[in-house]
Structure 1
Amino acid sequence: MNIVVYRTRKSFDYKVDPFAPSSFENNWKNNRQDWLVIKDDKAEIFRCRCQSVANYCFGKGATADTVSYGDTIYPGRFFLKCFVDPRDFFGEIHAITKTTDYDGQLIDRHAMQTTKDGYQNGRWLLHSMYSKKLGDDTTYAWSSGCIITSSADLKAFNTVLHAYKIQPGETIEGEIIEDF
């Protein structure tokens, strides 16, 4: 089994007004244009829409170093550590590990980055759009570098993993492929 994220160029065009500052009001365009896919040895067994480009790049989400979407996972290989501690997230979530972001920074085996001063920051995850405050999914997926699906799609994704007997902490190899 492996995971593939098919990212489209359109996902990087997330500002309604390209000249206005980043904000919740401005960064929702082309939301969830990418595909999250599970494949086994024979075929594609699951597919859903996802947000894989960091569009929450303002306020406390403004952590990128080179470009506004710099915390977006760079195309190539990553590993998904399954069924990790959700902390403040809803449902069963997964950690994205052993890869880099567009800023060229390592996302380590703990789904974290370590600053030059030795502090850990961020947590790259696959999680849903669910908001505990709203008690439902948000209208748009807001990513600081994570891969985000609807709650229903994350539940269906997890149903496939459970059917394949994937255990908490087990890792699945993944790849991000861009169409350009």
Structure 2
Amino acid sequence: MLPHGGCCERRSSHSANSSHSNTLYQCAIWEVGQGLSRPRPGHHKTARMLEEFAPLALVTILAALQQAYFALQVIHARRRFHIPPPAVSGNEDFERVYRAQLNSSEYYPLFLSVFWIAGVSFSQALAVCVGVLYLYSRYKYFIGYSESALQRLRPLYFGATMLWILIGLASLGVLSQLCSRYLGYNPMTAARSYVEL
């Protein structure tokens, strides 16, 4: 709370005093302290937004940890099969681990982009469910490919299906938002209204 009389009043009352500059300094320090103690503009809005998208952020962290795990498995395979960098061939078992990690990292940016767009523009709950299934399929793909090239196929197809679902959800969400903004008609809202009837 502002001191009694306020800084301006205090300044005028001490204008004839030799400690005028000291009073101004104390007043400035007080005002800085008050500014630091106040919430920043938009702070509450940012906090609410972070809470709202916490499930999407959690799946994103899991995806990043999964990529880190795959990379560590490649390092372990290099030591196990004696393949020093920068070599990426020379042992079939190592090459399968390396290819599994490389393939997963190639799809990682695509997954993140459509996952977030689907979660923000269509349905966060649906995007999170499909995203978790995709990460599970990627794990099974990595483990299967590390053991045999044939064992990668089923998780690969399942993961591709989950990715296409995310692409579809993201596309529907963006198109609905564009229609709502430029045409004044949101097909998703109309569809929900029709289902409720």
TM-score of Structure 1 vs Structure 2, range by shorter chain: under 0.3
Query: What TM-score do the two structures reach when normalised by structure 1?
Result: 0.26
Which structure has the larger Rg? 2
Query: What TM-score do the two structures reach when normalised by structure 2?
Result: 0.24
> Quick check: which one's strand share is greater?
1
More RCO (CA 8 Å, sep 6+): 1
